[in-house]
Structure 1
Amino acid sequence: MPPGWDWASGQGLLGLDDPEEWDAAFERGEAGLGTAVIGLAFHCTLAEVSPRIVRAMRLPDAAQRGFAFTAAGHAARLNGELTPELYEALRAEGPGGFVVHAIRDTLTFVPFRELPPWFKRRWVRQAVRDKLEAWWLYLADAIEGARRIVR
């Protein structure tokens, strides 16, 4: 075991850069797999890390699953794309929960033309929702300003 990685405490796992070490830890049932897969997302190619992120998304520990979705978001940020298996894992998780930030990162950092059709629909829906929310906040601010003036 390299001196920088401590599976028991989670110390140094964000620096993990060896996919085989992650695989061995998965087989041993280590606790910090979600944290370690974030490290892999930072240090390895998308092709190397993608299957490991998908496996980490199915971990029994909810916190570690959340870290796996964070890793998917980082992969989208760093690579400007995701693999088909990652898109399917995000789709399978559905809206809400852990997947929200990973989907937002994907919608932000992956070019629209490279998104799968279901993700494009999600992008359009999110863009409309964001615009309506902005208008609502602008209207609420205008009403509050008018109330202050009237007082």
Structure 2
Amino acid sequence: MKLNTIKPGIGSAKPKRRVGRGIGSGLGKTCGRGHKGQKSRAGGFHKVGFEGGQMPLQRRLPKRGFTVYGKKQVREIKLSTLQLIDLSEFNPSVLYDHGLIKNINDPVKIILGNQLIKRAIKIKDLIISRGAKEAVEQMGGLVELTVKDVNGV
């Protein structure tokens, strides 16, 4: 095989469209742009959202709400997920080691979920929901809280 004999596959390369080369080409005179109007002229395209001078939709609608920049996203972990790990004590470093959280400093909240736990566990330094706390204590587990909810909820 030589480089000067290589050709693209049949139908894969379309020939360049040559406009304005006479009426026989099918793209003569107006070059496929039609007659008159803004879109037929050179540089005749308007910006996105432009409505011909009418007040654009994004400016007609009212502004609503705001973004709370100080709010932290709390990672929620179900008690049933903790049941899958064969440990009796859980804290942020244990969750990080088992890949349940990506950053050890991220806030984590333990929630009840839809299944009850089957063994006693100890939860330390993690935010926990009221239902999850009751479920842990009902099975004889222990909850030590030294962390308050990060968003004050």
Higher-strand-fraction structure: 2
Higher-helix-fraction structure: 1
